[in-house]
C-alpha cells in the first residue's frame, strides 16, 4: 500500500498511549459534566436529590421514556430572565479582567528582571517568586483579611503615620477581591512570561540597539512583541479560573460583590435550586470555552508557520 505523506497507521501501543488521557478526561470530566447538563435540564423539586426527573428503571423502559419528556429548558429560561445571573456574569468578567490586567502589569517587570539576571541565579529567583504558593491557598487569602480590614495592618500603619484619620474601607469590597486574585494567580502570569522572555535570542536585542534603537525602543519593538505568546498564555491562565473564582470573593468580597462562583454556591446550597445552578455552570463553561478556542486557534496558526 503506498504511503501518502507522513501519515501512517498507529501501532496498538501508540493507540493505547493516546487513548489513556482521553479515557481519563471522559471519566473524570465529561461524565460529571454530562450529569450537570442533565440536572440543568431538570426541574427543581422538594425531594432528594432536589430535582426531577430522576432516571431509573423502576417503572420499566416505558416509565423511563415518560420521564424523559419532563426535561426542559426552564432553568436556562430562568437564567436569562433573572438579572442576578447576568449581573454576576458581567461583574465576574470585569473583576477577572481587571485582575488579569494588573497581574500582567505586575508580573512583566518581574519576569523581565528574572530573565535578565545571571543565568545561574534565575532558577533561584523563580523559586523565590513561587515559594509562597507552597503554603495553603486558603490561609494565604485569609491572611489578606488581616491586612485589609478596618483594624488591619495596612490601615493601622497608615493611621500611625498620620496619612489618614479614619480607616480606609478596603476589606469586603470588589477591590479586595481583585487584590486577592492578583496575589493568588500571579505565578500563572509570571511563569509563561518568564519562559517567553528568557527564550528570546539576545542577538535580536543587540541587532535592534545596533540599528539605533534606544533601550526603551528595543523593549517596545523587540522584547514585548516577541513575548506575545507568553502574555496570551498568562492572561488566559489567570482570567479563566478567576472568572469562576469562589473562595476569594467569599472571603474578601462584600455582600454586594457579585461573582458567578458565589451566585452558583448560593443557588446550590442555600436555595437548593440545583437545575438553575447547573444551568449557570454550563453557561459559564460555554462563555469561557470561547476564549480558550481562540487561544488554541492562535497557537495552531503560530505552530503552522
Partner 1 sequence: MTDAPLLSIKGASKRFGAVTALEDVSLEVGGGEFFALLGPSGCGKTTLMRLVAGFETLDSGRVEIAGADMSGAPPHRRPVNLMFQSYALFPHLSVFENIAFGLRRQGAGKTEIAARVAELLQIVRLEGVETRRPDQLSGGQRQRVALARALAPRPRLLLLDEPLGALDRQLREETQFQIKEIQRRLKTSFVVVTHDQDEALVMADRIAVMRAGRIEQIGAPAEVYERPATRFVASFIGQMNFLEGHMESGAFVGPFGRLPAGDDGLEDGAKAVLAIRPERLAIAPASEAAEGLRGVIEDVAFRGETTHFRLRLSGGETLRVSRGADGGRSFSIGDAARVSFPPSAARLFASE
Q: Between 14 and 206, whose beta carbon lies closer to partner 1?
A: 206
How far apart are the C-alpha atoms of 163 and 145, rounded to whole Å?
21
Q: Please confirm whether the linkage preceding 53 is cis (ω < 30° from 0).
A: yes
Distance between CA atoms of residues 46 and 6, nearest Å: 59
Least distance CB 227 / partner 1 (angstroms): 10
* Shortest reach from residue 236's CB to partner 1, in Å: 20
CB closer to partner 1, 209 vs 251: 209
Q: Which is nearer to partner 1, 73 or 211 (CB)?
A: 211
Query: What is d(CA 81, CA 78) in angstroms, rounded to the nearest whole number?
Result: 5
Cβ-based nearer residue to partner 1, 33 or 219:
219
Q: Would the CA dihedral through 212, 216, 221, 227 be positive or negative? A: positive
Query: What cell does 2 get?
Result: 503506498
Which residues pair with residue 44 across a beta bridge?
Answer: 51
- Between 72 and 215, whose beta carbon lies closer to partner 1? 215
Report d(CA 295, CA 301) in Å as an integer: 10
How big is the CA angle at 257 (ends 248 and 268), to the nearest 5 degrees?
75
Q: Are 124 and 263 in contact (CB under 8 A)?
A: no
The dihedrals phi and psi of 50, each to the nearest 5 degrees, come to -80, 50
Binding site for partner 1 (CB under 8 A): 201, 203-204, 206-214, 217, 221-222, 225-226, 228, 305
CB of 163 to partner 1, least distance (A): 41
From the CB of 216, what's the least distance to partner 1, in Å? Answer: 11
> Based on CB atoms, which residue is closest to partner 1, 208 or 259?
208
CB of 176 to partner 1, least distance (A): 39
We find the least distance from the C-beta atom of residue 223 to partner 1, in angstroms, to be 11
**C-beta separation of 95 from 87 below 8 A:** no
Amino acid at each position: 500500500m503506498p504511503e501518502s505523506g507522513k501519515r501512517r497507521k498507529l501501532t496498538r501501543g501508540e493507540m493505547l498511549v493516546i487513548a489513556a488521557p482521553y479515557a481519563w478526561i471522559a471519566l473524570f470530566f465529561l461524565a460529571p459534566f454530562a450529569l450537570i447538563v442533565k440536572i440543568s435540564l431538570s426541574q427543581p423539586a422538594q425531594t432528594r436529590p432536589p430535582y426531577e426527573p430522576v432516571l431509573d428503571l423502576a417503572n420499566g423502559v416505558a416509565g423511563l421514556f415518560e420521564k424523559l419528556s419532563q426535561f426542559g429548558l426552564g432553568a436556562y429560561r430562568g437564567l436569562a430572565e433573572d438579572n442576578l445571573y447576568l449581573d454576576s456574569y458581567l461583574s465576574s468578567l470585569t473583576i477577572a479582567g481587571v485582575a488579569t490586567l494588573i497581574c500582567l502589569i505586575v508580573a512583566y517587570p518581574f519576569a523581565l528582571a528574572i530573565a535578565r539576571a545571571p543565568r545561574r541565579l534565575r532558577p533561584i529567583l523563580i523559586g523565590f517568586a513561587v515559594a509562597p504558593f507552597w503554603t495553603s491557598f486558603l490561609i494565604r487569602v485569609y491572611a489578606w483579611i488581616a491586612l485589609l480590614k478596618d483594624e488591619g495592618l495596612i490601615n493601622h500603619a497608615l493611621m500611625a503615620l498620620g496619612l489618614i484619620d479614619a480607616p480606609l474601607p478596603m476589606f469586603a469590597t470588589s477591590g479586595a477581591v481583585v487584590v486577592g486574585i492578583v496575589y493568588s494567580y500571579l505565578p500563572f502570569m509570571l511563569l509563561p512570561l518568564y519562559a517567553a522572555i528568557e527564550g528570546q535570542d539576545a542577538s535580536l536585542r543587540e541587532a535592534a540597539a545596533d540599528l539605533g534603537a534606544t533601550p526603551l525602543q528595543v523593549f517596545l519593538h523587540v522584547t514585548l512583541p516577541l513575548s506575545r505568546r507568553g502574555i496570551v498564555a498568562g492572561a488566559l491562565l489567570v482570567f479563566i479560573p478567576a472568572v469562576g473564582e469562589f473562595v476569594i470573593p467569599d472571603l474578601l468580597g462584600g455582600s454586594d460583590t457579585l461573582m458567578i462562583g458565589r451566585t452558583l454556591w448560593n443557588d446550590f446550597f442555600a436555595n437548593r435550586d440545583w437545575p438553575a445552578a447547573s444551568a449557570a455552570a454550563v453557561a459559564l463553561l460555554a462563555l469561557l470555552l470561547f476564549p480558550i478556542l481562540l487561544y488554541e486557534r492562535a497557537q495552531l496558526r503560530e505552530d503552522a508557520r
